[in-house]
Amino acid sequence: MDTPAVEPVKRYLLGLQDEVTAGLEALDGAGTFRRDVFESPAGGVVRPRVLSEGAAFERAAVNFSHTVGSRLPPAATTTRPGLAEAPFEAVSMSVIVHPWNPYAPTAHENLRFFVARPAGAPPVWWFGGGFDLTPHYGFEDDAVHWHRAARDACKPFGEDVHARFKQACDEYFTVRHRREARGIGGLFFDDLNEETFGGFGRTFAFLRSAGAAFLPAYARIVERRKQLPYGEREREFQLYRRGRYVEFNLVYDRGTLYGLQSGGRVESILASLPPLVRWQYDWQPEPGSPEARLTEVFLTPRDWLADD
């Protein structure tokens, strides 16, 4: 399978959306996703799914989109400025989960495939995506488990692949104006094609490996944490930390910017935001507290598998 094509990737991402939707509903235990479908005149489709106020999840979104456009949005051409005027086709699937329990982390996954068709030149294709974890209270065993799943997803494709995409994730998911990481990272890859990773078949296989790793890794962490007792202090800190998540998504996240620049459905694009969040002026955690430990221990990039 070395002939680039949108259709097999689309079929895979639609199937993965169904699988993740079912898995999160089972993990929640009570909530169900609202399922919508919106078609565009150009031939694309948006298939958002949103769960609100379930038993374990305050908000979860599992969205699929197929976009057919006449001009690549700026957010999609950061590494390929020569394609800014090219017609394109893109398919993507994204997941974002915001649990009720502050001890259960927020998680995110995105997988995407682009084909640009510049005038008078062959089509240009590339894959991108990854997954990352954003805890509000840190647990070392959760972090090791998460990064082990990321490493195992990369292992069949070369010994250097995990280190390469872990570093890219640490660099990308940084709230630069706060000078801190958004979370503990995971995997981030972009502009993967024949030159940077291998042929279409190999690169698509890697996308599938990353896609398959997300739900089992996250489900194990949620099962550990969703029943832990918490109080008003932990809830307020969770809402405060969610503010950092919102700041990153609205200022830096290329997926959010791409959706808005491409004229996508705003309700679907912003479904990834948490339903409740708080900002507090110049708040500082108490030294030695679990809240201080999040920043001191978990929000500085490190090799979580050094002793594994």
Per-residue pLDDT of the chain (308 residues; tens, 9 = 90+): 578 899 999 999 999 999 999 999 999 999 999 999 998 887 889 999 999 999 999 999 999 999 998 887 776 666 676 777 788 899 999 999 999 999 999 999 999 999 999 888 889 999 999 999 999 999 999 999 999 999 999 999 999 999 999 999 999 999 999 999 999 999 999 999 999 999 999 999 999 999 999 999 999 999 999 999 999 999 999 999 999 999 999 999 888 887 888 777 888 888 889 999 999 999 999 999 999 999 999 999 999 999 87
Distances 11 to 39, 91, 223, 249 between C-alpha atoms, Å: 16, 10, 30, 27
CA 302 to chain centre: 20
Q: Answer for the pair 76, 258: CB distance below 8 angstroms, yes or no.
A: yes
Q: Where are the alpha helices (DSSP H) in 226-280?
A: 232-251, 254-261, 266-269
CB 253 within 8 A of CB 269: no
> And the tokens for 177?
């104006």
The reported pTM is 0.94
CA angle, 249 then 167 then 298, to 5°:
70
Residues in contact with 41: Cβ distance below 8 Å, sequence separation at least 6, in sequence order: none
Instruction: Give the Cα separation of 169 and 183 in Å (integer).
Output: 10
Tell me which of 98, 108, 147, 162 is the catalytic residue. 108
Whole-angstrom Cα Rg for the chain: 19
Beta strand 45-47 pairing with 38-39: antiparallel
Name residue, tokens 């949005």: 73
Count of beta carbons in the 10 Å neighbourhood of residue 124: 18
Token pair 């509000």 is found at: 136
Check if 108 is active-site.
Answer: yes
Cβ-proximal residues to 119 (8 Å cutoff; 6+ apart), any chain = 86
Q: Is 50 strand, coil or helix?
A: strand
Tokens 């394109």 found at? 88
